[in-house]
């Protein structure tokens, strides 16, 4: 197996970015540290790509924005559009340009990233998604490239620059809001638990139930399949069950829109028969009937903060890996009513 920057960093007791800067003879690295890194490189037989290092040392004033692999769904999600808008707004002010990178698979995205890093087209990358064992993050970290993650770091936390919400608290707040309206039979509809935001919101839902000593019913705690048709089957089964919930926390406005449509097809009245809280406070939440009560995660601000941290670390590569938490807030609308009001209507 080929020796990587990560291997050198572990032996030398430094970060991969320090190894990368040593290869470029960056003046921000002390001579003592450089010597320790060089000894580790010699011991492991590591040969840096000096052509790539030389290109990368030239400030391109360009930043790559990496979207998750998807054939279509990513481009329909307002979160990514708002985050990119925030990144672009800050970069425009600082006279940096952006390049959006996406593809149908991780492999396709990685191929583009490798091409860009070899040719020195960008100074760093902003990754717009966090999931367990992300091959894109693994590559960027192992090769010592600068990146900022929007989302929760799942590995190498101390060395990762990231910007995120407290999604666990957001999930708790959304569930607690429904509990305070008198709801006790509350379901959670989330996506793949490998996506950290969904897993954390689910954990917040579970903590809220425990806080108020409400039972965690397995049939209510749902991890939806990826395909839209299969999602509809699962949601329909939940709403047709004899012990149907009176309220649902949905991890995304788009999923909540699908849930509303299924309710109408089943002749369920909203919010009389079902209260809904979702996330992102996108345009979808304001255009549905009834309008969705939704947790605003400040997607635009997440983008601004990510761009700010990226440019700060380009200007000063010796900065510590920063972690920024952007606050959320609940926007109350017509999709939720108290349970006692529901029963009286």
Any idea what the CATH number is for the domain that residue 5 is in? 1.10.260.40
Position 257 in a domain: yes
Instruction: Answer yes or no: are the C-beta atoms of 344 and 272 closer than 8 Å.
Output: no
Instruction: Provide mean pLDDT across the span 233-254.
Output: 95
Specify if 117 maps to a domain.
Answer: no
Give yes or no for residue 339 having a pLDDT over 80: yes
Structural domain contains residue 74? no
Q: Check pLDDT > 60 for residue 216.
A: yes
The enclosing domain of 292 has a CATH number of: 3.40.50.2300
User: Average of pLDDT values for 214-230?
Assistant: 91
Which CA distances in Å does 75 have to 70, 267, 300? 8, 31, 16
In a domain, 77, yes or no: no
- Predicted confidence (pLDDT) per residue in 42-85, tens digit: 888 887 764 445 444 557 889 999 999 886 667 778 899 999 99
Q: Count of domains in the chain?
A: 2
**Range with lowest mean pLDDT among 42-51, 89-98, 323-332:** 42-51
The reply to whether 138 falls in a domain is no
Task: Select the more confidently predicted residue: 344 or 166.
Answer: 166
Same domain, 201 and 335: yes
Average per-residue pLDDT in the chain?
A: 89
Q: Which of 13, 30, 48 is the last residue of a domain?
A: 48
User: Residue 14, Cα to own-chain centre: how many angstroms?
Assistant: 27
**Adjacent-strand bridge partners of 153:** none
Greatest Cα-to-Cα distance within the chain, rounded to the nearest angstrom = 77
Segment 106-128 mean pLDDT: 91
Q: Do 175 and 40 fall into the same domain?
A: no
Confidence (pLDDT) at 258: 93
User: What whole-number distance in Å separates Cα of residue 167 and Cα of residue 169?
Assistant: 5
Percent of the chain with pLDDT over 70: 92
Residue 144, domain member (yes or no): no
Compare 247 and 11 and report the one with higher pLDDT. Answer: 247
Are residues 173 and 33 part of one domain?
no
Residues 176, 42 within the same domain: no
Residue finishing a domain among 15, 32, 48: 48
| Per-residue model confidence as pLDDT tens digits over 184-198 | 999 999 987 778 899
Inside any domain, residue 24: yes
When pLDDT is averaged across residues 27-53 and rounded to a whole number, the result is 76
pLDDT confidence bin for 111, thresholds 50/70/90: very high
| pLDDT for res 31 | 81
Output the pTM of the full model: 0.82
DSSP string, 281-344: --HHHHHSSSPPEEEE--HHHHHHHHHHHHHHHHH-TTS---EEE---EEE--TT---HHHHHH
Task: Grade residue 345 by pLDDT with cuts at 50, 70 and 90.
Answer: very low
Residues 252-288 have pLDDT tens digits of 999 999 999 999 999 999 999 999 999 999 999 999 9
Residue 39 within a domain: yes
Token pair listed for 323: 């972690």
Task: Tell me what the mean pLDDT of segment 174-179 comes to.
Answer: 98
Mean pLDDT over residues 17-32, rounded?
73
Confidence of residue 166 (pLDDT cuts 50, 70, 90): very high
DSSP characters over 157-217? GGG-EEEE--HHHHHHHHHHHHHHTT---EEEEE--TTBHHHHHHHHHHHHHHHHTT----
Domain extent at residue 245 = 167-297+330-344
Q: Name the least confident of 36-40, 67-71, 324-328.
A: 67-71
């Amino acid at each position: 197996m080929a020796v990587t920057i990560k291997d050198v960093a572990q032996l030398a007791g430094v970060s991969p970015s320090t190894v990368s800067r040593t290869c470029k003879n960056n003046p921000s690295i002390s001579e003592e540290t450089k010597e320790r890194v060089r000894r580790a490189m010699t011991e492991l037989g590591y040969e840096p790509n000096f052509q790539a290092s030389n290109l990368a040392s030239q400030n391109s004033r360009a930043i790559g924005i990496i979207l998750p692999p998807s054939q279509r769904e990513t481009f329909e999600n307002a979160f990514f559009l708002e985050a990119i808008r925030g990144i672009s707004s800050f970069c425009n002010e600082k006279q940096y340009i952006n390049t959006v990178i996406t593809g149908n698979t991780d492999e396709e995205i990685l191929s583009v990233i490798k091409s860009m890093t070899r040719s020195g087209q960008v100074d760093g990358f902003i990754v717009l998604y966090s999931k367990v064992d992300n091959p894109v993050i693994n590559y960027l970290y192992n090769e010592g490239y600068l990146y900022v993650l929007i989302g929760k770091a799942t590995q190498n936390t101390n060395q990762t620059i990231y910007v995120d919400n407290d999604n666990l608290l957001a999930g708790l707040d959304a569930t607690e809001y429904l509990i305070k309206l008198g709801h006790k039979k509350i379901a959670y509809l989330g996506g793949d638990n490998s996506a950290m935001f969904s897993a954390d919101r689910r954990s917040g839902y579970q903590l809220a139930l425990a806080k108020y000593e409400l039972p965690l019913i397995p049939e209510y705690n749902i991890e939806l399949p990826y395909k839209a048709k299969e999602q509809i089957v699962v949601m329909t089964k939940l709403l047709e069950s004899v012990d149907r919930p009176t309220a649902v926390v949905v991890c995304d406005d788009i999923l909540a829109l699908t849930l509303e449509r299924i309710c109408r097809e089943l002749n369920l009245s909203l919010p009389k028969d079902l209260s809904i809280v979702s996330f992102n406070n996108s345009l979808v939440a304001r255009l549905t009937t009834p309008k969705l009560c939704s947790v605003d995660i400040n997607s635009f601000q997440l983008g601004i903060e990510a761009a700010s941290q990226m440019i700060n670390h380009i200007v000063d590569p010796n900065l510590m890996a920063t972690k920024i938490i952007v606050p959320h807030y609940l926007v109350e609308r017509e999709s939720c009513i108290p349970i006692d009001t529901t029963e009286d209507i």
